[in-house]
Amino acid sequence: MRLGLRTKFFLYSNTLIMVTMGVVAVLGITFERNSRYEAIVNRARSLTEIFAIPVTDALMYEDLGLVSESGLIEETIDEVVRRNRDLIRYVVVTDPSGRVSYSNRWELLGKPFPRALDRAAVGMEPQTEILQAEEGERILEVRMTLNISTRFWGSLVTGFSLGPVEQAVAAIGKKVGVVALILLLANSILTALYVETLIRPILALNDRMKRAGRGDLSVRSDDRRGDEVGELAGAFNRMMDELEEAQRIDVVRQFQLAHTEKMAAVGTLAAGVAHEVNNPLAGILACSENMEAALDDPKMVKRYLGLIRDGLLRIERTIQNLLDFSRAREMTPEMTSINHNIRHVLEMTAYQIKSQGVKTELQLSREEPIVLADHFQMEQLFLNLILNAIQAMPDGGTLTMSTAVVDGFLVAEVADDGIGIPPEIRKRIFDPFFTTREVGEGTGLGLTVSDTIVRAHGGAIEVESEESRGTVFRFRLPFPDGATGRGRNT
């Protein structure tokens, strides 16, 4: 799944906050736990050392026979446990052999205590160890010797619960989690606002770039911002200005190329035009001579005048067609009958077709397909393809023109059975000024202009060719909505 810039920025920002808060929380909780553990260790050692004083004194008094009543150590233990009920879990006093002589836990009395200190620990600092009780509670145990100088009476062991410390650390962890959640929520809101102020212009610029990529070169971006986004928008606008100017120059160039090829085609048609003019002129000359010999016969004069008028109209139509075709025009799309364009161009090239010994076959759609196109450009398209086909059949052949409606598109074909196009040059035939003819026999623009005309009308042209078998040029044009019936000039 492709994520947008807004989503990425939002995820990256929140991920960074979460990781940062996680690290800070872990470090903070670790520091707090260590601090509290250190505090309770110090307190436990202090309590144990303070507690050891009256216990040692009582043992010394009993040893010297200065105490007549018993129970002094038990009372001291009970008092210490009562005052520190939330912290102290057990107190154990062992004799030099390690057996429990006093404790607030009666089940330990008289039994060996496994962690009791011996005489070798005299003079050492109190020992501390964290243990796990059977019920799951963690216990900090402090052990120290009961001695005065070299006199050793045993050891004092005190067990302190770590539950309050762990509960306090857990509470701090919850508070840190709540604070982190609040910060994450606040960051999400601030990020959303920041995204809208920072990312929105970038997304808007991206949208305009996409529109430009689809061919809308008139789109521009707001470059009034004084930051890098504004500079980027300004650069985009300058690029679009340059592209628009380049497109305008390209349109002019394409128009000039098309007109150049049109003039070349007019030159090719000149021989046919001369033939089309000379034949009626010969008939007009014969009619005028016959009229001079039959001036007294009104019927004959009237008949010859009608023939002269028909000949002149034929000459006028031929010259007018040539003028219409050769005149430079802007592209003017209109409802156009492609079948009519084909018939008209075949009429214009009739002399070239006949003089080359070429036969024509028409396989035109009965539906009389109509497209939204420039009538004169369509005729130039077919003229280029027909002349190209005639020149590919120097020894004569068959020129096949066909139209059909396929999958909602007009498909037109111009096919010949001439020499074909070699595979090594087939990809270059639409390149400007590419030609295989001798110098002076062609401009190399005919197929380039044909491709340009088809693309300008939203279509596509393709070629199929086999050497010594012939070539087929096929192009597809879209139909406009509601394009049914006959087109113009049908």
Least confident range from 79-88, 261-270, 284-293: namely 261-270
- The answer to whether position 296 is within a domain reads no
Burial class (CB in 10 A: 0-12, 13-18, 19+), 188: middle
**pLDDT per residue over 14-64, tens digit each?**
788 788 878 888 888 888 888 888 988 998 899 899 989 998 888 888 878
What is the pLDDT at residue 5? 64
**pLDDT per residue over 208-251, tens digit each?**
888 888 878 788 887 777 777 778 888 888 888 888 888 778 76
**pLDDT per residue over 308-321, tens digit each?**
877 687 677 667 65
What is the pLDDT at residue 204? 80
- The answer to whether position 396 is within a domain reads yes
Q: What is the CATH number of the domain that holds 391?
A: 3.30.565.10
Instruction: Compute CA distances 240 → 218, 243, 245, whole Å.
Output: 7, 5, 8
What is the pLDDT at residue 201? 77
- The answer to whether position 10 is within a domain reads yes
- The answer to whether position 70 is within a domain reads yes
Per the structure, how many domains does the chain have?
2
What is the pLDDT at residue 349? 83
Domain limits at 468? 333-490
What is the pLDDT at residue 476? 93
- The answer to whether position 102 is within a domain reads yes
Q: What is the CATH number of the domain that holds 122?
A: 3.30.450.20
* Final residue in a domain of this structure, among 168, 199, 222: 168
Q: pLDDT: is 272 or 69 the higher one?
A: 69
- The answer to whether position 302 is within a domain reads no
What is the pLDDT at residue 97? 92
Given a cut of 70, is residue 417 above it in pLDDT? yes
Rounded to whole angstroms, the Cα distance separating 141 from 128 reads 6
Given a cut of 80, is residue 138 above it in pLDDT? yes
Rounded to whole angstroms, the Cα distance separating 178 from 157 reads 40
* Final residue in a domain of this structure, among 168, 201, 225: 168
What share of the chain has pLDDT > 90, as a percent? 24
What is the pLDDT at residue 279? 61
What rounded mean pLDDT belongs to the chain?
81
- The answer to whether position 454 is within a domain reads yes
Q: pLDDT: is 322 or 191 the higher one?
A: 191
- The answer to whether position 483 is within a domain reads yes
What share of the chain has pLDDT > 70, as a percent? 83
What is the pLDDT at residue 486? 43
Q: pLDDT: is 156 or 352 the higher one?
A: 156
**pLDDT per residue over 141-167, tens digit each?**
999 999 998 889 999 999 999 888 888
